[in-house]
């Protein structure tokens, strides 16, 4: 274990956030997310017996709804802590608190080292649990403790905070200099914010985030309880907006990758169209298939561009709410040393993310414009091919019609007597075996010959008038 920090009454909280409802979510999906959320607290049997009670609580339209009548569900022995589930608008949030103190009469006698070891076990259990049931929007950790010494030296206090972080092992592959993104003070409490950014593009916010809060020695327990009581709802809200912004931005990166791939497909389509036009004969079935693919790509791209607009609004709204909550915290702090500028860095980064999404939207919209031209060209080619085929068919019908008409006219002109005379002149006496056969087929042959001649003349005439 790392050097033990000089602190007392350490505790750890984790705040987990799941998107509960959203555009396009079905009742079955909402029910699945609901059960998944409560699985962090209860077993399947208890959930099944109380699912309707959970649903009734959710129907309240308030922005902050406590989902348990008792507000919290305490831990079972030996750990001292609780679950605190709430609904924040379209999000299900869960705060899990642990002091690391055993539920026994001698718990106050536990040393700082023993308490940190218990908290480390708690952190390990929660980390494993959130790996099996990961929060969809994100998570944030909070560490609270009181400095044992009367020191006000900022370098010494920072070393204490670093020691707490190392002992708890909340952030794996931890590096204090790299992961520390800000520090400040609020109601005379020292704050240190650490982050390990998500580097995997998978549509999920897997950022590791930790806030360390160290109370000075001169604060009484009553004062600490008052500050903590004010701090918890503020941090639950701030962490919620933070997680949502990071998750939305992660979603936008996934959509951007999808649209970039679509832009590559569109480029290939446009480049191939010149090759199609060089061919003397076009495959109408192939063109129709390519048109169908292009229309599907257009539909998907249009939907995803719509998501971009929605994500831009989400980041702007949550960024505004984040700033409003920060201002609320400043107004509440009566000291003259309040410094929450480190929190403002994230508000500024949220603004940058919104601007990046807006730029991506404009760029990708332009890159997808050739798709509309491609669709119009292919539709035009198909229409020309159809018209050409229809004209060919009409010409064939006209030629065949003339041929059939001529043949019918000749056949009707040659009567039975005329046919008999012609056969007798050609084959002689009627009692020969082939006389009757010739009598039957000769008129047909003559009509077919005249029909073919009529069809040939019609074909020549059609080509002449088309020139």
Q: Are residues 80 and 219 in the same domain?
A: yes
Q: Are residues 186 and 74 in the same domain?
A: yes
Token pair, residue 7, equals 């602190």
Residue 263 belongs to a domain? yes
What global pTM score does this model have? 0.78
Residue 244 belongs to a domain? no
Q: Are residues 226 and 368 in the same domain?
A: no
Residue 2 belongs to a domain? no
Cβ atoms of 450 and 403 closer than 8 Å: no
Cβ atoms of 212 and 143 closer than 8 Å: yes
Look at 57-61, 89-93, 301-305 and tell me which has the smallest mean pLDDT.
Answer: 57-61
Residue 436 belongs to a domain? yes
Q: How many separate domains does the chain show?
A: 3
Token pair, residue 65, equals 């709804």
Q: Are residues 208 and 299 in the same domain?
A: no
Q: Are residues 371 and 275 in the same domain?
A: yes
Report pLDDT digits (tens) over 252-282.
Answer: 988 888 888 888 877 777 677 666 666 656 6
Report pLDDT digits (tens) over 94-147.
Answer: 999 988 765 555 556 667 788 888 888 888 888 888 888 889 899 999 999 999
Residue range(s) defining the domain that contains residue 411:
383-466
Q: What does each C-alpha distance from 278 to 274, 275, 374 come to in angstroms?
A: 7, 5, 16
Residue 346 is predicted with a pLDDT of: 94
Q: Are residues 70 and 197 in the same domain?
A: yes
Q: Are residues 426 and 352 in the same domain?
A: no
Q: Are residues 216 and 327 in the same domain?
A: no
Q: Are residues 277 and 258 in the same domain?
A: yes
Residue 441 belongs to a domain? yes
- Is 189 in a helix, a strand, or coil? strand
Q: Are residues 233 and 256 in the same domain?
A: no
């Amino acid at each position: 274990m790392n050097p033990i920090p000089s602190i007392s009454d350490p505790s750890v909280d984790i705040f987990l956030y799941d998107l509960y409802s959203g555009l396009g979510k079905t009742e079955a999906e909402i029910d699945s997310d609901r059960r998944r959320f409560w699985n962090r607290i209860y077993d399947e049997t208890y959930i099944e017996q109380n699912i309707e009670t959970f649903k009734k609580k959710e129907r309240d339209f308030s922005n902050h709804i406590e989902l348990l009548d008792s507000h919290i569900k305490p831990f079972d022995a030996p750990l001292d802590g609780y679950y605190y589930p709430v609904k924040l608008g379209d999000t299900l949030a869960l705060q899990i608190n642990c002091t690391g103190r055993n539920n026994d009469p001698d718990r106050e006698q536990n040393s700082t080292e023993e308490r940190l070891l218990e908290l480390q076990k708690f952190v390990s259990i929660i980390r494993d649990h959130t790996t099996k049931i990961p929060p969809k929007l994100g998570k944030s950790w909070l560490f609270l403790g009181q400095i044992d010494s009367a020191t006000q030296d900022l370098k010494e206090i920072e070393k204490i905070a670093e020691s707490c972080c190392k002992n708890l092992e909340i952030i794996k592959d931890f590096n204090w200099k790299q992961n520390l993104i800000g520090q400040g003070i609020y109601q005379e409490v020292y704050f240190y914010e650490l982050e390990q950014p998500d580097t995997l593009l998978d549509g999920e916010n897997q950022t590791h985030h930790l806030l360390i809060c160290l109370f000075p020695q001169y604060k009484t327990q009553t004062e600490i309880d008052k500050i903590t009581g004010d701090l918890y709802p503020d941090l639950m809200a701030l962490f919620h907006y933070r997680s949502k912004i990071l998750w939305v931005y992660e979603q936008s990166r996934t959509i951007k990758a999808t649209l970039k791939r679509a832009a590559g497909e569109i480029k290939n389509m446009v480049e191939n169209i010149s090759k199609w036009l060089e061919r003397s004969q076009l495959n109408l079935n192939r063109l129709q298939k390519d048109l169908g693919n292009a229309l599907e790509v257009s539909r998907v791209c249009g939907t995803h561009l719509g998501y971009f607009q929605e994500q831009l609004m989400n980041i702007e709204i949550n960024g505004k709410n984040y700033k409003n909550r920060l201002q609320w915290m400043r107004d509440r702090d009566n000291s003259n040393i309040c410094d929450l500028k480190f929190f403002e860095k994230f508000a500024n980064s949220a603004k940058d993310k919104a601007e990046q999404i807006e730029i991506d939207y404009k760029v990708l919209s332009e890159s997808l414009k050739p798709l509309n031209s491609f669709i119009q060209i292919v539709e035009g080619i198909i229409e020309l091919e159809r018209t050409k085929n229809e004209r060919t068919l009409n010409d064939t019908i006209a030629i065949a019609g003339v041929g059939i008409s001529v043949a019918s006219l000749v056949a009707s002109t040659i009567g039975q007597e005329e046919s008999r005379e012609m056969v007798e002149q050609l084959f002689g006496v009627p009692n020969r075996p082939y006389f009757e056969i010739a009598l039957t087929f000769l008129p047909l042959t003559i009509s077919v010959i005249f029909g073919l001649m009529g069809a040939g003349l019609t074909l020549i005439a059609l080509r002449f008038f088309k020139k």
